Amino acid sequence: MKTPWINILNISILIVFIFIFSCDKATKYEEEVTVELKLSEEILNKDEILNGEFTVTNKSPNTKVFHFNSSCQFGFRVTDDDEIEFYKSDGCRASPSKFELLSGESKKFEFKYLLKDFDGNDLPLGNYEITAFLFNTKYTANRTFQIK
């Protein structure tokens, strides 16, 4: 009589393990979207332009669709060592947008930054961090640069 209960218990444990491992696999694929930020130079003079490239790559076996509340899909912000914000991209149209990446596919966002603050003044000499991101997602990448 104890045998049927033991079999039911074993089957229940097996079902729980299958569920846990399938959830873990789905989470793993969600994390297989990678981002990379490349800068043209990391040391610049005040009058130079910082060129950058932010790349999003789908490394999962599934197609990924990214939805945005506006026309902005990508943005970046610039801060100094004290985390004072000097620039943040904005100015988006209020029309929803999206893009999708097939498995193994990448999308590149190229940008130029004139090394100016919100008021159009030259940034002071020093070290800065640029953070590039996809709007409404967790995907960000940081790099540092210096103005001398």
Instruction: Write 19-28 long-range contacts (CB < 8 A, 24+).
Output: none
CA distance 29 to 119: 42
> In a structure prediction context, what are the per-residue pLDDT tens digits for the chain, which is 148 residues long?
555 555 555 555 544 444 444 443 333 445 689 999 999 999 999 999 999 999 999 999 999 999 999 889 999 999 998 988 988 886 677 789 999 999 999 999 999 999 999 899 999 999 999 999 999 899 999 999 999 9
Q: Which fold has domain 32-147?
A: Immunoglobulin-like (2.60.40)
Domain boundaries, the chain: 1-31, 32-147
Predicted TM-score (pTM) of the model is 0.75
